[in-house]
Structure 1
């Protein structure tokens, strides 16, 4: 048996097709141990084979696999018998975690407005919580607006009944109505019925979300509809809320979408003794989801200018901004929030991955006080969320990030700069192979040029069949003991998301591996590149 494959104890029932795809690229291997930036395979003779992990749990292990202080804290918690299932009780550790998250965010955003925390188990669950909360808030705002319209209608009826106001023909004509003269009450009833009909059509509209092209926000029922990759969305289109996807750096597209989708409720009123109809803006848009640094979309950084335009646009139309920091947050880019470096402030934040220190499965949705609805905590819950174990692990993670005046953040920036410098050198030497190096801090991507017309049939076939990035990753693993993957929606882009413990030796190992891959692509040696 080849040491890159693992024997199964029984039939492959867990994701058999995915395993088949990975096996085709030489990536279906079993890892038996993890430490720092290293994963270990087991060879046939029982020895361990070290692999440098640049995938980093898709951004989950900023502090490295099995950080000793996190492991020690986990062992303490388990030895103490800390409760995992204690729902509907006090959770002081969750309150401490929320307070510490607020302290850090307040410092970074220079604000004092509190953010309320709703905990979950995964990034997609945090996004779902944000989406649900935003819709609850939107629904409550709609009900308040309808109540105001109803009160205005009662006041108008009283004015007409007392003779203080009349229903003039022009206001009826505006809505295609006619009424018998001399019967103001009947005319008003006719007008009210028409406004009620139009308002009912407006309020029956489903919520509309905005999201950026290339964005990835999860694969659950709602979050998958906010993920741009149509291959993920299309099979489940009928299940959840729909989104309009906004191209990057095109503020005019925002204006066009708003003009196409905006709506108004109609409200009765009195002006100068006449019944009038006023327009009240209807909250069609539920939320705008933004990744400050897109991970699955190809490691693309949101520009500061477009971030500002999104912020201004959402403020103008009353649409909350949900900032998805699941991959980019928790210090990976050199600041706790990648969005803070762009000057972007969220009404909601979603955090996960590194929050659990590579051990606990946890996430959090943060919503600022101006949008927070206390009713949400009754209609939304999660069995495994907010437990003692995951909250205490997350508190330890924050302690490690904040230690020594935020040394971890500085380390992420410095190690990221060293890694990017190396990637830039490789690109400079192979401009015909590498299109671009992108990213920030320890969230970097290398986009390879399209190889659909490669003289090598093997390389050409991989490129045209959507397997190109996986083929490159397979060669890096087999030939150089380097682990990484392509981004899900940009398969020509390899991702590099190691921990802050990244060494110069590991960077050099990756450099040698990438240079080999680039040489094989340049020379059209597909047989070597694809050899398993």
Structure 2
């Protein structure tokens, strides 16, 4: 590299500067299992224990030998990456395998169609797009039904059927400004005008729990509760209402607040009357079984039951985002399984690629699936042979030996959680909580914004303390841990199933040193020395 090139940084230079200030600007040159290697000043490899795990992407570890060997085999065979708009039998094989897992863990109610993608955020946006297409098509079907019913009612009125007065007719008449004693033709005209106005004003709305994170693309960022990520782009996509779901009536109230109706005519032996039909406004309710970026917050069965009941009553589909929590990380393939949560949509990514390739899936319950979506959505790299075959082999490894990986994730997670809770008991004034499931764990710190140490207090008030703690652990103890994006008081731990007892002991020693530093208010040791 030329000296000129070394002095210039055009690849997110501001972020690079922030990483450097926190001691996190490190280049890694090699990886295996839960270890990343960096070079020291003499050019020698230095092992760093990686607890970030690609934000949940490496359930099988970095560069899993079985997958690396398979990738080399595929490349040696010249498997095509670019063969779009052709038959992809391996994609169907993967879809069938995952559908079988859905049936095993979530129940055999019906099949799921599979739409392929490249990343978790894209998988979420596919679910959003499909849910909106479904909403629009349901609305078109409803409007056709209303028109057909109006024709029948007008024909009945022409034959002498009376217009029956009731509260619904009176509400319509008041809103449409109909004269007293208006006839069926005038009522039908009023219905057309009111419905047209209501439909035009009925922009789609998504619902999500407070604390949600579903990506940072144009659509998915609207489902992300963190206002700093979402607000600048609020005019670009459908809006989301965030619900305090742990309050017993919150979901039902949120659904009711978005409720809209269309008027219609109906006729029977008694005459013609005005009725109302639900206008589909809510495109979907979106949730993570374990909220990752909100600080590793698992859902409970009762909250999930309330969400499903409210959504079923309103015919509102549920999107279950398993991008970070799925693929065995919590002890089952789907983190939703122990909760009894069966979504109309399920998104998968991260560990689906085995830590090697970019692969993602959006699963759609067949009773919701719209085949027309296949003609209005596509992705250049989705469903290519190389990434899809590796994703298939990843699923095979997870399912091998009756799901040994899932059992190991549960066991390794329990061991890691027990260690962390031991530290919480030792440092109750520093550690507020340990929470999570399996190998998706959050270590939550007490607020340090009033610390007697100026560096600690300043970093805490700036929302950067979690990153400063991570920088210290990396610089001093060769431990790689990062905070969750929307709750920076929480350090995430998402290692692979290969995490050893010795590595857990090494982590414990580093964390104990960090907790001692915080207890002693030793802020000078927290940040890297000034250059």
Equivalent in the alignment of 1:14 = 11
Secondary structure of 2:207's counterpart equals: strand
* Correspondence for 2:33: 36
Aligned to 1:138: 135
Deviation of 1:8 after TM superposition, in Å, equals 6.7
Match of 2:199 in 1: 203
Structure 1 position 94 matched with structure 2 position 91: yes
Aligned pairs for 1:362-373 within 5 A: 362-373=359-370
Matched, 1:106 2:103: yes
2:377 to 362, 380, 397: 380
TM-fit CA distance, 1:273: 4.2
Kept in 2: contact 1:166–1:273 (CA 8 A)? no
Q: Is the 8 A contact 1:172 1:178 kept in 2?
A: no
Residues of 2 paired with 1:67 and 1:471: CA distance?
Answer: 31
| Equivalent residue for 2:335, pick from 333, 338, 353 | 338
Alpha-carbon distance in structure 2 between the residues aligned to 1:339 and 1:165 = 53
Correspondence list, 1:484-523, <5 A: 484-523=481-520
1:188 aligns to what?
A: 184
Cα offset for 1:165?
Answer: 3.0
Call closer, same or farther: CA 1:171–1:516 in 2, change over 3 Å: closer
Q: Which residues in structure 2 correspond to 1:80-479 (within 5 Å)?
A: 80-166=77-163, 173-174=170-171, 175-176=173-174, 177-179=177-179, 187-204=183-200, 205-271=202-268, 273-479=270-476
Distance across 1 between alignment mates of 2:415 and 2:20:
33
State whether residues 116 and 360 of structure 2, in contact with CA within 8 Å, keep that contact through their aligned partners in structure 1.
yes
Q: Distance in 1 between the 2:524 and 2:100 partners? A: 55
Q: Is residue 168–residue 274 contact of structure 1 (8 Å, CA) maintained in 2?
A: no
Q: Is the 8 A contact 1:322 1:348 kept in 2?
A: yes
The separation in 1 between residues aligned to 2:184 and 2:163, in whole angstroms, is 9
- TM-score, with normalisation over the residues of structure 2? 0.96
Q: Aligned partners of 2:166 and 2:94: how far apart in 1?
A: 62
Distance 1:171 1:112, change over 3 A: closer
| Separation in 1, partners of 2:153, 2:445 | 66
3-state secondary structure, aligned to 2:6: coil
Does the Cα contact within 8 Å between 2:168 and 2:275 map onto a contact in 1?
no
Work out the number of aligned pairs and report it.
522
Instruction: Give distance in 2, aligned partners of 1:310 and 1:172.
Output: 33
Offset of 1:431 from its aligned partner?
0.1
Separation (CA, whole Å) in 2 of partners of 1:52 and 1:140: 50
SS at match of 2:249: helix
**Is 1:62–1:500's contact at 8 Å kept on the other side of the alignment?**
yes
| Secondary structure of the corresponding residue to residue 32 of structure 1 | strand
Distance 2:415 2:179 in 1: 78
**Aligned partners of 2:100, 2:437: CA distance in 1, in Å?**
24
Q: CA deviation at 1:178?
A: 4.5
State the shift of 1:11 in Å: 1.1
1:469-489 Cα deviation digits (max 9, x unpaired): 000000000010000100000
Q: Per-residue deviation at 1:17?
A: 1.3
For residues 440 and 460 of structure 1, what CA distance do their matches in structure 2 show?
31
Structure 1 contact 438–445 (Cα < 8 Å) conserved: yes
Give distance in 2, aligned partners of 1:460 and 1:51.
28
Q: Distance in 1 between matches of 2:331 and 2:8?
A: 44
Would you say the 8 A contact 2:195–2:263 is kept in 1? yes
Deviation larger for 422-431 or 17-26: 17-26
3-state SS of the aligned residue for 1:220?
A: coil
Distance in 1 (CA, whole Å) between partners of 2:42 and 2:167 is 92
* Contact 2:22–2:528 under 8 Å retained in 1: no
Sort the Cα spacing of 1:158 and 1:497 in 2 relative to 1 into closer, same or farther, 3 A: same
Quote the Cα distance in structure 1 between the aligned partners of 2:197 and 2:170: 20
Q: Which runs of 5+ in 1 are unaligned?
A: 1-6
Partner of 1:528: 525
Using the alignment, how far apart are the partners of 2:154 and 2:279 within structure 1?
23
Shift of 1:256: 1.9
SS in 2 for 1:338: coil
Superposition RMSD on alpha carbons, in Å? 1.6
Q: Which runs of 5+ in 2 are unaligned?
A: none
Q: Aligned-pair distance for 1:284?
A: 1.3
1:249/1:303 contact within 8 Å kept: no
The Cα offsets for residues 368-402 of structure 1, whole Å up to 9 and x where unpaired, read as 11101111000000000000001110011011101
